[in-house]
Structure 1
Amino acid sequence: MSPETLVVRVLVTGVGAIIGQGVVKSLRQLPGVYIVGLDRDPQAFGRHACDAFQVKPQVAETDPAYERFLQELLEREAIDLVLPGIEQDVFHFDARRELFASAGVAVVLNDSRLISLARDKWRLHQALLEAGLPAIPSSRSTDWEQVQAELGPAPLLCKPRQGSGGRGQALVENEDDLHYQSRKQGENFMLQRLIGSADEEYTVGLFGYGDGESSRPAILQRTLGPGGATWCARSVAGDPLIQSACEALTAHFRPVGPTNYQFRKADGRVWLLEINPRLSASVSLRAALGCNEAAMSIDYFCRGQRPALAEWRAARCSRYIEDHIEYL
């Protein structure tokens, strides 16, 4: 790609992970984008899809050496936009917004309050109740009779307050399970009523404008695979219940940029499982069907434009494992 054809230079972090690789794949649909990949693993597969690749230093993100590394990388590669591809970078970059501002570099970050709130599922649950929005009955009690009175009969779902991708979740069938999980999770412990079934689970992507409005939601009915990421999915052209839930959540929480809502349907209602105020693991699936959140991020964060969902194609999607061989 010749320099005169370049439009924007993008740093994508975590290109060894599924989200980072999905972001790179989405950017490859666009002309005039130069992609710099970043990952702690020097052999990260995503490096092959980038125009340039940098190895993340083996130091903590809070180490001043890492901040110096980032500053030098942003300047050396003349980065215009940073797209965090792992959740840890979202949290770290949110706390270091001034670093990017001083460098004159746009970074794809949601509203700080929403990032903090969504990080703790119990706090999010409390916020839903305070806002009068539907919330799955939840509890932090370790008293079996009280838990059953609040949430109904077993099985119940133990869901860590902090975590993603379904990691650490377990069914609670009886009092012994309750006490075991409460000891295991400690302050991270919370319970929820088990809502609906995996057949009625949805992942929804939209682009928030920060004022309570957003692009039209891109809805996928999904099947989870290893690690809690979407493995198979079917696009949904429109769903009044889900669209109404997205409008209410967006109006209240006012997300900025790529935002992911996860729902289950049960009893004729839509129930929020969690909010990911960032790009999600299904980013490349949505891009293939007409909702390219990486392109929307360039329009919004670099050009000041409100991106809209112009197309949403009907499709069934599946992921598979492939081999990549480098002969030595």
Structure 2
Amino acid sequence: MKIFVTGAGALLGQGIIKSLRQSTLECTLIAADPNPLSAGLYWADRAYRLPLADDPGFGDRIHQLLDGERPDLVLVGTDVELPWFAAQRLRLEALFHTHILVSDPRVVAIADDKLETARFFESVGLPHPASAASEDAAAVAALVEAVGFPLIVKPRIGARSVGVSLVRDTRQLAQALEGRQGLVVQQCAGEADQEYTASVLYFDGAVRASIVMRRDLRDGNTYRAYTGDYPELNAQVRLLGEALKPHGPANFQFRTAADGTPRVFEINARFSGTTPLRAMAGFNEVEMCVRKLLDGTPIFQPPIRSGVILRHLDEMFVSQDRIDAVQ
């Protein structure tokens, strides 16, 4: 089989590639990224350059590569590419006789916007942090009255905790909002030592497998993950997946309240940066999705190894001739 992965310079794309390399799949791996100095390009069998997702030539380049390589499956490795692939999925699949693993535009849009995420869970009656658009002064005031401080102020569209503020009083709230647009003000979901990242795989109208890991963050990314069964939280996460109905993977990030209720503050309608960590715990979601889409192999809940995953930096040397060969 031949698998095409975008975003070889992103944590997500590299995690997908790592998971493929950890799997028992025998595949030709093709990677692409705008930057020829992206490490993931050099873990693949063939590597290509792509324009940025907002470049007018992005679609033409994708067409060119899919036509030339004819991969069996395309895995999207950056958030910014998801809306384009979601909109084009059915047309690309028919044109190039491939599979594009991406959710529909509705799911991608809900996951892309933190306020829409909260509104979605409210609409289906599932727990979430109380939230208000920063531009709606009355709603923000009502939020303060209802839940008090501390509150979280963050961009509606963003990642890795960039631009996120914890505010403890009205003065700090005003400072966090001053001169900024496109923010959401949210109830603090819980304590930092009760933060979790979870994944579901949804196919054929049901969640087929799930995993929950407690985590410690550094610079907005998981650097320690605590694996185990977490049966009650897994049951809640499956309810989240059943409500969202992604195509394949979805990632939920949440903290638990004092009563143990998970309050989801972020959805990723895709694999996530912790995907290779899950593979180490026995939950190789990339492999399960590949086998489901290409071989029709049913997905069953795998047993999860119990332990701690420690994340660390690594290095690699790439010769100049390999860099020059990326077209």
Structure 1 segments unaligned to the other structure (5+ residues): 1-7
Which amino acid letter does the alignment assign opposite residue 167 of structure 1?
V
2:193 to 189, 199, 202: 199
1:115 to 98, 108, 111: 108
Kept in 1, the 8 Å contact 2:197–2:253? The answer is: yes
Identical residues among aligned pairs (%) = 28
For residues 51-97 of structure 1, the C-alpha deviation after alignment (integer angstroms, 9 at most, x for no partner) is 0000113x65451x332221221121121100011111112211222
Q: What is the DSSP-based 3-state SS (H/G/I as helix, E as strand, rest coil) of the residue aligned with 1:150?
A: helix
What is the Cα deviation at residue 185 of structure 1? Answer: 3.1
Structure 2 vs 1, CA of residues 326 and 253 (structure 1 numbering), >3 Å: closer, same or farther?
Answer: closer
For residues 239-266 of structure 1, the C-alpha deviation after alignment (integer angstroms, 9 at most, x for no partner) is 31x1231132122222220111112112
Structure 2 vs 1, CA of residues 139 and 322 (structure 1 numbering), >3 Å: closer, same or farther?
Answer: same
1:262 to 229, 248, 253: 253
Distance 1:300 1:31 in 2: 12
Structure 2 vs 1, CA of residues 61 and 137 (structure 1 numbering), >3 Å: closer, same or farther?
Answer: closer
Distance 2:319 2:290 in 1: 36
Kept in 1, the 8 Å contact 2:53–2:81? The answer is: no
Distance 2:14 2:75 in 1: 11
Distance 2:274 2:268 in 1: 12
Structure 2 residue 80 is matched with structure 1 residue 88 = yes
Match of 1:243 in 2: 234
1:37 to 28, 31, 41: 31
What is the Cα deviation at residue 42 of structure 1? Answer: 0.7
Kept in 1, the 8 Å contact 2:128–2:262? The answer is: no
Q: TM-score, normalised by structure 1?
A: 0.89
Which amino acid letter does the alignment assign opposite residue 52 of structure 1?
R
Distance 1:327 1:81 in 2: 29
For residues 101-137 of structure 1, the C-alpha deviation after alignment (integer angstroms, 9 at most, x for no partner) is 3211101112332111111121221222221111212
Q: What is the DSSP-based 3-state SS (H/G/I as helix, E as strand, rest coil) of the residue aligned with 1:96?
A: helix
| Number of equivalenced pairs | 314
Kept in 1, the 8 Å contact 2:130–2:143? The answer is: no
Structure 2 residue 320 is matched with structure 1 residue 324 = no
Q: TM-score, normalised by structure 2?
A: 0.89
Q: How large is the RMSD of aligned CA atoms in angstroms?
A: 2.0
Which amino acid letter does the alignment assign opposite residue 324 of structure 1?
M
Which amino acid letter does the alignment assign opposite residue 173 of structure 2?
L
Match of 1:16 in 2: 9
Match of 1:172 in 2: 167
For residues 270-312 of structure 1, the C-alpha deviation after alignment (integer angstroms, 9 at most, x for no partner) is 2112211100000101112211111122122223343223231
Match of 1:78 in 2: 70
